[in-house]
Amino acid sequence: MIVPLHAGVALGDLQHLGRPEAIAVALIDTGDGLGLVDPGPSSCREALEGLVADFGARLDDVRHVFLTHIHLDHAGIAGSLAQATPRARVYVHERGAPHLVDPTRLLDSARRIYGAEMDRLWGEFLPVPVDQLVVLQGGERLSVGTRRWRVAATPGHAVHHVAYLDEHVGVVFTGDVTGEATQHGTPALPVTPPPDIDLEAWRPSLDRILEWRPESLFLTHFGEVRDPHRHIEEMWKRLLEWSDTVRASLEHPGSDDARADRFLEEQVDALASGLEPEQVKWIEQDAIRSSWFGLARYWRKKLAPPVVPVAAPVPPA
Residue 65: the pLDDT is: 99
pLDDT score recorded for residue 160: 98
- What residues of the chain score a pLDDT lower than 70? 307-317
- Partners of 64 in the beta sheet? 35, 89
At 311 the pLDDT is 60
Return d(Cα 209, Cα 153) in angstroms, integer.
10
Which H or E run contains 218?
strand 216-219
Cβ–Cβ < 8 Å for 221, 283: no
> Among 197, 174, 187, 152, which Cα is nearest to 268's?
187
Are 6 and 214 spatial neighbours (Cβ–Cβ below 8 Å)? no
pTM for the model: 0.94
So where are the chain's domains? 2-228, 238-303
Q: Is 146 helix (H, G, I), strand (E, B) or coil?
A: coil
Rg of the chain on CA atoms, in Å = 20
Q: What is the pLDDT of residue 284?
A: 79
| CA atoms of 190 and 158, how far apart (whole Å) | 13
Q: Which of 154, 219, 155 lies closest to 187, judged by CA? A: 219
The secondary structure of residue 311, as a DSSP letter, is P
Helices (H), 55-160: 72-75, 78-84, 97-101, 104-114, 118-122
What CATH number labels 2-228? 3.60.15.10
Residues 13-26: pLDDT tens digits? 999 999 999 999 99
DSSP structure class, residue 205? H
Specify the pLDDT at position 277. 82
